[in-house]
Structure 1
Amino acid sequence: MDNYPTSWAPRSNVVVVAWVIALLLLVGTVWLAIAGDVGGTVLTGLATVSTGALALHGTLLRPRLAAGPEGVLARTVGGAHRYPWTEARLRLRTTRRLGRDSLTLEVESGDHLLVFGRIDLGEDPRDVLEVLTALKGQALS
């Protein structure tokens, strides 16, 4: 990461809250299992695993996106992906779901498309795109 001085990741407080919720759900799951509530145990167990997986994802894949003079680096479950500025296409995408607009940053290179939201980046995708555009302009000039 030394060559990538600018980076974005989920906010630490969001990851900590996810871990706390996962721990509370785990306690609830154990309590329901002891009480003999099979249905409740299954539901809270699924919620525990899901929340724990999200917390682990936010903990291990840091930073999610980094940028430097040579290009961008994106960390995913599949590993780290490096894209030079000459190959990386950056754009914002707004989608409307359930009456709510959602803004994402798309990083595209060849057949690869990576989509980052506000939670992934810890900042507004518009601000991240502004920084990335400036870095790309400096690198290509």
Structure 2
Amino acid sequence: MLSKTTEYALRAVTCLAGQAACGKTPSPADEVAGITQIPRRYLHRVMQNLAAAGLVESRCGTHGGYLLARPAEAITILNVVAAVEPMARICNCPLNLQSHTALCPLHAELDRAYAATEEAFAKVTIAALLSSANPIVPMCETP
């Protein structure tokens, strides 16, 4: 359902949030790429999309790198998804059939699923992922 680019964006934002929680900001691109296992060149493209959406910032220089532009509490999974590949809702017949003045049962059901996914993603912040009671910590190998 989610593309590799969206997965990478979610990893990158979660990584930056985790680094910020530890006081490690900004995070150098090589470090983010290593933690998230995103190819370095691809990371740059993902970060450009996230920066254009106002989710991350980049800083140049010796102590430069990437950091969140907003608190992790103010960034949802939906914000990240929308920044790289917004979910396309179905508003009219994809086949352009003239007689379909409303969505057919198939496309109506698919659109309901997209709506439910968007709603679920909008409810979960990146901070909530990091503070989850789950013993598995995002982006960290656990013993």
Which TM-score applies when normalising by structure 2? 0.34
* Structure with a larger share of its residues in strand: 1
Structure number with greater Rg is: 1
Which TM-score applies when normalising by structure 1? 0.34
